[in-house]
Amino acid sequence: MAFLHKKQLQFEAKPEKPDALFAKKLQELIGGQYGEMTIFMQYLFQGWNTRGKHEKYKDLIMDTGSEEIGHVELLATMVARLLDDAPVKEQEEAAKDPVIEAVLGGMNPQHAIVSGMGAMPADSNGNRWTADYIIASGNLMADFRANLTAESQGRLQAVRLYEMTDDPGVKDMLSYLIARDTQHQNQWIAALQELQEEEGGLIVPTTAKEEWEAVGFAHQLFNYSEGEASKEGRWASGKGPDGKEFEYVDHPKIVGGPLELEDTPSYIHNTPPKKK
């Protein structure tokens, strides 16, 4: 496929007034672990790596990944406009007084020094975005669960930022992103349900045969904490999502041997072995 840039934002991104500090906060939705850079890179690589006859799923992934590129553009535009006319010099002068500096909270100095009053591929602390954040495993069921988590976390952060501003323009843009995250969460749940039906009710993201699983461990809830509150959940008894019966085990047996490791060779220079 080819990507074409249309010179129009998906939604409006016009703050009512400059706010350098909020521009710093908004960076989290761009380059944070669950920011839009993570989301669009995750979806694009999932789509590009989709093999076999899974066109409807690949199309869904690529539709959403392309949309998320536009979300980065939307947020980057908002950050730049929040920095327009921001009193950088005045803040620097005021910051010479430690009391005023504490009150100001401060903008991200890299917005002035590095990016020239523009957005950066970084989080709200200035940490650069990393591809280590993305998940593209080649297993659609596993990936769609990761997508659901990413959209849930991204929406949560957008909601928290919505609470942190009184700027109507910023709130309007965030409300759009919050709404789109709702759609994306629901679509990944729906896609997971379809995959589950297509795979005969399988809910675990693997094609491993059932006989590969150790007997007596696949549907047991082990009580490894004080009390029995977890026993009250539907995950402790009755049929599970895969149709198998849950079992609550109050005092799980410890079946392994003692933790004993062999001594290392002398050239590793660990603690010398105890003399017999």
pLDDT at 232: 92
CATH number for the domain spanning 100: value is 1.20.1260.10
Q: Identify the CA nearest to 111 among candidates 100, 101, 102, 122.
A: 122
154 in the same domain as 265: no
213 in the same domain as 151: no
Contact present, 128 and 31 (Cβ < 8 Å)? yes
169 in the same domain as 59: yes
pLDDT at 48: 95
State the Cα–Cα distance between residues 2 and 17, nearest whole angstrom: 37
Question: Which helix (H) or strand (E) is 239 found in, with range?
Answer: strand 238-239
By residue range, what is the domain housing residue 42?
Answer: 20-198
Question: Which helix (H) or strand (E) is 220 found in, with range?
Answer: strand 220-222
Is 6 a member of any domain?
no
Q: What is the mean pLDDT of each run of 10 residues along the chain (276 residues)?
A: 87 94 95 98 96 92 96 97 75 55 62 82 92 95 96 97 97 97 96 88 68 84 90 91 88 87 90 82
CATH number for the domain spanning 239: value is 3.30.1530.10
Q: Identify the CA nearest to 35 among candidates 125, 109, 118.
A: 125
Record the pTM: 0.85
At residue 246, the 3 state secondary structure works out as: strand
Tokens representing 16 are: 């009512």
145 in the same domain as 263: no
Question: Which helix (H) or strand (E) is 197 found in, with range?
Answer: helix 168-198
181 in the same domain as 118: yes
How many other β-carbons are positioned within 10 Å of the β-carbon of residue 171? 17
Contact present, 68 and 36 (Cβ < 8 Å)? yes
pLDDT at 47: 96
* Tally of domains within the chain: 2
pLDDT at 214: 83
pLDDT at 207: 62
* Angle, alpha carbons 20-126-78 (nearest 5°): 40
How many other β-carbons are positioned within 10 Å of the β-carbon of residue 64? 23
102 in the same domain as 214: no
User: Nearest 5°: phi and psi at 225?
Assistant: -130, 165
Is 106 a member of any domain?
yes
Tokens representing 265 are: 């060779």
pLDDT at 102: 43
260 in the same domain as 214: yes
151 in the same domain as 274: no
pLDDT at 92: 58
160 in the same domain as 126: yes
State the Cα–Cα distance between residues 48 and 111, nearest whole angstrom: 33
Is 11 a member of any domain?
no
Contact present, 21 and 181 (Cβ < 8 Å)? no
